[in-house]
Structure 1
């Protein structure tokens, strides 16, 4: 079988039967562009495949499919990342399909990876599939803009990991589809600041059995990190089929609004740093206008919205259906402003509409419609003395 020639004379496209490794030729072109001050390396469209082992990327160099989606495949047997972005500042990836070899014992392979600071990275219209670890794993990224991309089948990791310990900031993820990940779809385990996650379709986290029961993190979105988190906005996403939480986030200045969450195994939305029993406080929290569909109101693990140790919060205009516990507030950090739970609709016949414990400031509860067995706490428990309850009619 003959393959058409590449427009780049030192980069020959590969037929499916050709076992040649293109990594040396690709690396040579990357280094050459970097020496000239940067530029764009174009690859041919998806009908031609380039196999590659690890590529050490260079600042100022971008990679793009020419007039279509170009396919770059992980070299057979490789257990290392496809593209190493450690120390890179300024790179863009457009119209690329980055294809892994699937699960492999002991493999840490990811499509894009950094083991240290990197920044000013842009991804547009890329497809990342079949990776043994994470689709994208960056540590200490400053400036990351990803839109209109797709990630799926991350057999032993997450879709996007934004921080594994080093701080990350100025991060935007918009209009992407991420699915079939083992440990969750969008994650940051280290501190992050100025993050926007908007308009994404995120589904099937904990794809191969990862869950709270197995000790894995399997949220659709996990942005709780340590107490240094600041200014996180999670807006207009569809989160479906999580083996743990739909959204687990905590930050000073956290906004979670207008999301649709379907079938989370635990919380639809939980606002808490870890550990759960002694979480660091977070404040200026807004949880508004979200729609949450829980799978089983008889499951005591099923909760719509939970807040732990928050310093002032507003939970308004949410619709929760099918949760065993609708909204819970477990502890409020002092000093803190008053909390507000208002204009929420809780339906589906679960056990408790509101579970409230450890309040250290006034909590205003007003104009919530509920269809649960009881409004406050377990059956027969008194209303906490710090709760200012207005009209909360049962429907």
Structure 2
């Protein structure tokens, strides 16, 4: 029998089996079931099961993030229904308006651990691969079924190995690597696959840079994505578990307050799952970090990727920094370094929305928010912002936006007759200053 991929091991664990085969359908029990503003709609589906209580309240996590603060009465009523549901069902992992984007918040709260299965009613649940977890987006009806039964059938996906060796050049980021990969292989290049990231280039990345890669794999058609957890990962989680966890949290068999950070690190590493050396892959792709450059995804597809130099000088009317892809402190720091002492160009709006309240607080303490405000940027409430076209930055017809988000298909930001370019945070900030798409290295950023 050949070795097992990460996906095989993760789904075998979730199904209570020793091994599984690629293509096999298993009944899996997720460790976390995620939903957000769509929880009210999921509840209406769940009620059709005729149950009064969900069967897994301790495994449910709900975050209000997609339309916050509520921009309309309809959204406000939706939020009110969710709050009532949370109270009735005794759901403890509920995060209110302003706490931030679900994927960022659950990471900060250390609710997802290595080797675990998290299923969410959001396509970017692949995000949790940065923790060495199997994260996958599912539909609302599937989440309702999980509330009712605690399990869901999943097909074990084929796996693709992506290897990055070397060190990224100055000004080139994980976002650029993700765009290059999607541009090379197409928006459906990883369809229903598990994307495993390997190599010295991945190991050298900061944790916040690593988060970008599994998040962006939702745009690659992937079912899930994975990065090997290491000492950086376990330190992050262990420290947060000590600070964040509820006193009766017994995920490790004993109260968390009785465990030291080093003990937690060892336990977390023991939970991690790693592919076998002889695992079977549908494809293997190799990249050299030194050969990469800044890239832009042009309208209206995330795989319409070109080197930044090919579209330099393209005028924009709006720049947006934020989202679950690139709204973290590292991203704000990169953008602030570019914009500090400069002004947003006339005729351009620069919208900055931190991914969470923790990020906002840290950015305030480090002076980044002051840098943005002094430059003429607009600061938004932590959340998804204009990414899905609800509010807080919907473009006018005919306008172009450069964004650090993950999607740029027609109408994504609420206006079909507008254009969205995707780029790294520093490029977004430099473009806000120049008024046209520009490499920040060319303006001294």
The TM tier, using the shorter chain, reads under 0.3
Q: Name the structure with the higher helix share.
A: 2
TM-score, normalising length from structure 2? 0.23
Point out the structure with max Rg over C-alpha.
1
Q: Name the structure with the higher strand share.
A: 1
TM-score, normalising length from structure 1? 0.25
Structure with higher RCO (Cα < 8 A, 6+ apart): 2
